[in-house]
Amino acid sequence: MNAERAQAQARAFRALHADGPLVLPNAWDPGSARAIEAAGAKAVATTSAGVSWAEGVADAGGLTRAAALAVLRRIAAVISVPLTADLESGYGETPAEVGETVAEVIEIGVVGINLEDSVAHVLGDPSLLASRIAAAREAAVAAGIDLVINARTDTHLFGDGTGTLERARLYAEAGADVLFVPGVGDAETIRELVAGSPLPLNVMTGPGGPSIGELAALGVARISLGPALSAGAYGLAAAAAQEVLTTGTYEFLGDLGKHNALLQ
């Protein structure tokens, strides 16, 4: 992607955060990305869990940097809307290495990233993510791209929620644009986060969680599904395979194939 188009997509992606809640059904490979775009998504976000499962490895540490970037390259080649990438903790031991990762994903055509403050499901020191965010911002400035940095804190997912807003302020100072807090679903907590965060709030929802309308009413700026779509797709494949291998029937599949935009 040339620099002019990349910057235009970066600005368009940033603007989507101000136009009401940005809804991101997360993709995990080129086919799912195309299907999500065809369904009307204004941008495509990846899920590291889904990408990991598609590569046959476990989430939170199983995916290598090279494999993650290869998937992003293939997705960027087949969609026309902005692409934002879940980079886990940045695929680097040091901030400098994270900056190198970010420089490469920008070259691929990515205009937004997620960086998180946990490693292998263990909440980490917030100063480490802050330094990685700063390195990511430096790489984006050097590339001339107005990259949207989504700082994910796992204080609610792997902790008791303590220190969420303190981390939000630290990450904002480091250069983050959005605060992503997975693991919250109750209205009171979401309302407190929206009111107290210096950054627009991103939450993750799915089956059993608040609806898009409910989250919008609470002031959430960005809503993602995380691994819900990919987990559902692999669950469907397993259930359909089990049916055909045991009963010899195909009822589980029904008319699902008719909804596949890639077959039209």
- First-to-last alpha carbon distance for the chain, in angstroms, is 27
pTM, 2 dp: 0.94
Look at strands 178-180 and 201-204 and give their pairing: parallel
Q: For position 252, what pLDDT does the model report?
A: 76
Which residues does the chain have with pLDDT short of 70?
1, 255-264
Per-residue pLDDT reduced to its tens digit, 114-123? 999 998 889 9
Q: For position 4, what pLDDT does the model report?
A: 84
Per-residue pLDDT reduced to its tens digit, 248-261? 998 877 766 555 55
Q: For position 236, what pLDDT does the model report?
A: 87
Per-residue pLDDT reduced to its tens digit, 64-113? 999 999 999 999 999 999 999 999 999 999 999 999 999 999 999 999 99
Residue pair 20/216 in contact by the 8 Å Cβ criterion: yes
Q: For position 251, what pLDDT does the model report?
A: 83
Q: Please, how many CA atoms are within 13 Å of residue 104, restricted to the half-sphere of its CB?
A: 19
In angstroms, the CA 156 to CA 164 distance is: 8
Q: Encoding tokens for residue 262? A: 């890639």
Q: Encoding tokens for residue 204? A: 């993750």
What are the start-end ranges of the H helices in the chain?
A: 3-16, 30-38, 48-54, 65-76, 95-108, 126-143, 164-174, 187-196, 212-217, 228-246
Q: For position 212, what pLDDT does the model report?
A: 95
List Cβ neighbours of 53 (8 Å cut-off, separation of 6 or more): 28, 59, 227, 230, 231, 234
DSSP-based three-state secondary structure for 144: coil
Domain boundaries, the chain: 3-226
Q: For position 263, what pLDDT does the model report?
A: 45
Q: How far is CA 213 from CA 23, 216, 221, 228, 229, in A?
A: 11, 5, 12, 18, 19
Class for domain 3-226, per CATH?
alpha beta
Cα radius of gyration (the chain): 18
Q: For position 261, what pLDDT does the model report?
A: 55
